[in-house]
Each structure stands twice: as C-alpha cells, then as structure tokens.
Amino acid sequence: MGKICTSVPARDRRRLAMDIARAFSEGSDIVEVRFDYSSINSLGDMLDAVMEHRDRMVFTCRSRGEGGVFDGSEAERLIILKRLASFRPMLLDVEYSTLTGDHGEELYDHLRALDCDLLVSYHDFNRTPSRDDLAGIMHDMLEYSSSVKMVTMAKSIDDNESILSLYDKIGSSGVRLVAFCMGEHGLASRVLCTLLGAPFTYAALDEPLAPSQLTLRQMRAVYDALHRRCSSAKGIRGDRCTIDMVAGVIGSVLHGHV
C-alpha cells in the first residue's frame, strides 16, 4: 500500500552492513543512511558498506539544527555532503536551511555539477505552521528540486490535516512530496502520506531516529491492516474522519490487537 524508507545510523561499518541487509530482508523498499552518526574520518568505511545498494538509498548527513547528531564542524559536514553526492545515491537529502545558508549557493552549484538527485528537506521540531505558510515554504523549496520533504511537529490531531493538505496543492504536477508530522499526534500522517501521493514514508529498524517514529515491522503491519480494511487507496483523503480511522488502526497494531 505504501513504500517504506527505513532509517539506519552509520555508527559502525559492520553493524551498518547488517542493518541494511536486515532492513531489505524485512521488506523495506528504500534505506536512508544517516551519516551524521559517523565522522569525516570514518566516512570511507561507511560508504564501502552501502555501495552495493546506493540506487535504493537516501544519503543524509543531518544538521544539528534540524535533528542531526554530527559532532564535526559545519565545514566538515558540507565536505561530507559533497562526497556523498559524488557516489550518486537514489537521493541526497539536503536541508533547505543549508541550501539557503552562507555556503548554500556554492554547495548547490557543486551538487548540480555532479548531477545528483536532491531531496530538499525542512524540519520544524516545535510546531506545524499554518497551511498557507507550509504552502509558501514548499513553493520556495521547489526552486531547488522537485523532490521535497517537509516534516513538522504535531501538537494536535488537527496538524495532520494541515501537513496533508499539501498533497492537494501539488495535484498531478510531478512534484515528489514526502510530508508528514512527527510526534504522537502525528502518527496517522506518517501512514497516510503514501496513500495521498508520497513516494515513500519513513520508519526505524529498531531505534527511532525521530520523535514517535514507527518501526519497519509496525509500519508494515499497519499497512497490511489498512489493506484488509480498504483494498484500494482510491478515495483516501487527508480529512479528520480518515485520520481518526488510521489512528485507530495504528493503535490496534501497537497494542497487539491486529
């Protein structure tokens, strides 16, 4: 029903290779490798562990300002992003704030010269902006790539409707939008986004790398339960009734009732 991208941290080469193999064996369609858990000195080893599957991978070295854990300097992180781009993964995740920052223009020109496919990302760990503000941010992000990721913190169930309203904005424009909410109140949007047009959603292997991130097994179980209830995604909407239904299915899966 929906493609899943499983996020794994790049802490140790052997563990990373095992996590990637396990994610794919358990049904993950894509794997996101979080290189911000690594260092500039260990990058070569980590890349050796991922090369075989890079055409099914999102490479990320998340900035600390948007939830990353990289211990090096920003200059080192930009060097890592450039090196990751040279290996031509399926997508390279680069924050919108990085592309509009002090060295953003030079970085963007370098990535374009490498013909690297960008996933431009935006994260707000404090709130979900208004629908108009979200649409405006997305419009600006699309200047850099037609693949865009927007993730915000849900303070209430209503925030799911706000973030999912972006799928009505893009229609059949060809924009590849991944948009959902973090946090306990945002779980339904993590599932619904793929049914509304997102190319994939995110899950954890074991350790959540974002607030209230479901595991790959949990996400698969939720989609299976939804498939039994609704055999087709046709007619699925991001309205409150659908959000409540999906939230109920998630609750049943998490509490072992499915």
Catalytic annotation present for 255: no
151-206 per-position pLDDT tens digit: 999 999 999 999 999 999 998 789 999 999 999 999 999 999 999 999 999 999 99
| CA-closest candidate to residue 96, choices 79, 82, 84, 108 | 108
> Domain 4-254 classified CATH 3.20.20.10?
no
- In sequence order, which residues have a C-beta less than 8 Å from that of residue 147 and are 6 or more positions away? 91, 117, 118, 119, 120, 175, 176, 199
Q: Distance from CA of residue 225 to its chain's centroid? A: 22
Catalytic annotation present for 149: yes
111-142 per-position pLDDT tens digit: 999 999 999 999 999 999 999 999 999 999 99
| CA-closest candidate to residue 196, choices 157, 239, 154 | 239
User: Residue 6 CB: number of other CB atoms within 10 A?
Assistant: 27
Average pLDDT over residues 19-24: 97
Token digits of residue 131 = 């629908």
Domain ranges of the chain: 4-254
User: Exactly one of 103, 123, 155, 227 is catalytic; which is it?
Assistant: 123
Token digits of residue 221 = 């179980």
Residue 211: the pLDDT is 86
Residue 230: the pLDDT is 76
User: Exactly one of 149, 155, 234, 257 is catalytic; which is it?
Assistant: 149
